[in-house]
Amino acid sequence: MIRVLVVDDQDLIRAGLVALLRAAPGVEVVAEAADGTEAVARAARTRPDVVLMDIRMPGTDGITATERILAEAAAAPPAGPAPETGRPALPRVLVLTTFDLDEYVYAALRAGASGFLLKDTGPERLLEAIHAVARGDMLFAPSVTRRLIEAYVQRSEPVPDSPASLEALTAREREVLLLTARGLSNTEIAEQLFISEATVKTHLNRTMTKLDLGSRAQAVVVAYESGLVIPGGSAG
């Protein structure tokens, strides 16, 4: 069962999401929240696998809530057996936004969200996305997400503490990071490089450890900011 926390300040939207998820096989709604502050508290208490996070909310918004949820989860002792990386398992944050040019989305990815969906997404796509991020994949739809990230990387100032280079990575790790940033799934990367999905995950885990990153989304951001991927182009 994938344990989900639903966060949205609009009662009707939140109720609709909860009803949809409760009717879906393999998904359990463990809590719901109407704002970011409430979301942080309920995430700490219920330890969901996936947080479905509204981005625009009064008070504590989705970006701040995402940062706090992931930071607190990383600092908390693991609730179960430690994963292979030896690090506590973190919840995956899937951000919801109304507009595909919402300038908060890039900030949300930078904060560690695993991806985002538009609020007009169909039920099947939403459920697929929840399962995808729960598996550790990043929702990176080429038709919307990649275009948005490229646009905002071009407009954004580099983060001061982002790695200036990727010299610590092996050639294969750089290759996997490049393909991840271009929007390929683990399965697609494995097929293109003629390696197993497990090997792809190993390369990504080592990359995130070397660059001190907490999520696949942050790895994508670093790939753009470091120049490994040029918006609208290829490797840097």
Instruction: Give residues with Cβ within 8 angstroms of 124, minimum separation 6.
Output: none
Mean pLDDT score, 222-226: 81
Mean pLDDT score, 86-107: 71
Q: Look up residue 144 and give its DSSP letter.
A: I
What is d(CA 156, CA 25) in angstroms, rounded to the nearest whole number?
40
Question: Of 48-57, 126-135, 211-220, which one has max mean pLDDT?
Answer: 48-57
By the 8 A CB rule, do 124 and 102 touch? no
Query: How confident is the prediction for the chain on average, in pLDDT?
Result: 81
- The helix (H) or strand (E) run that includes residue 93 is strand 92-97
Report pLDDT for 83: 45
Between strands 115-118 and 2-7, the pairing is unpaired
Report pLDDT for 162: 45
DSSP-assigned beta bridge partners for residue 27: 2
Which residue did the predictor score with more confidence, 130 or 140? 130
Considering only 60-74, 120-134, 142-156, 204-218, which range has the smallest mean pLDDT? 142-156
Instruction: Give residues with Cβ within 8 angstroms of 122, minimum separation 6.
Output: none
Which residue did the predictor score with more confidence, 84 or 213? 213
Taking Cα atoms as reference points, which of 176, 170, 169, 171 lies closest to residue 193? 176
Report the side by side order of strands in the sheet with 115-118.
Answer: 27-33, 2-7, 50-54, 92-97, 115-118
Given a cut of 80, is residue 201 above it in pLDDT?
yes
Given a cut of 60, is residue 171 above it in pLDDT?
yes
- The helix (H) or strand (E) run that includes residue 220 is helix 216-225
Token duo for residue 66: 């995402």
Q: Which residue has the tokens 């039920």?
A: 123
Q: How sure is the predictor about 140, in pLDDT bands with cuts at 50, 70 and 90?
A: low
Report pLDDT for 175: 94
pTM, two decimal places: 0.68
Which residue did the predictor score with more confidence, 117 or 199? 199
Residue 167 sits at the vertex; the CA angle it makes with 166 and 172, to the nearest 5 degrees, is 80
By the 8 A CB rule, do 39 and 65 touch? yes
Mean pLDDT score, 117-125: 85
Considering only the C-alpha atoms of the chain, give the largest distance between any 2 of them, rounded to a whole number of Å.
49
Which residue did the predictor score with more confidence, 97 or 204? 204
Return the percentage of the chain with pLDDT > 70, whole number.
Answer: 78
Mean pLDDT score, 104-117: 79
Mean pLDDT score, 72-95: 68
Which residue did the predictor score with more confidence, 143 or 120? 120
Given a cut of 50, is residue 117 above it in pLDDT?
yes
Q: How sure is the predictor about 164, in pLDDT bands with cuts at 50, 70 and 90?
A: very low
